[in-house]
Amino acid sequence: MEYRTSTTNIKVRSYHIDSYQHVNNMRYMEFLEEARWTHFEGNKTLETVAKSGVGFVIANYNIDYLYPASMDQTLEIKTSLAKMGKKSVVFKQEIFIKENQKQALSANVTLVSFDIKTQLPAEITEEMRAEIIK
């Protein structure tokens, strides 16, 4: 099954840069998070999850850094659902540098559903699944 892909653009600013004049690796994780939030804004996932009394936490980042991004470049982040399990989802995220069309990184990010009250993993409900795949 092919899932929806969303695109988020982020301009690289001076505070994103490390001493080597490249985007700092930790900033990339912030960019990926921003893009996932934007992706969820394309449907009612956040509302449905909140109503269900669950949340999602990051269980794993798997990132391949491919090409350095620099100041004043625009990063285009593509986000799509790659896999959904009983209690987790995996998002495929790629960052491209718009100015030269080079791929800066490729990532798979695993999120686990958890019950906010018990702080234990929780199954993803059918209602949540229906929204996530939209």
DSSP notation for 3-54: PPEEEEEEE--GGGB-TTSSB-HHHHHHHHHHHHHHHHTTTTHHHHHHHHTE
18 catalytic residue (yes or no): yes
Catalytic position from the list 18, 64, 72, 115: 18
Which residues are known to be catalytic? 18
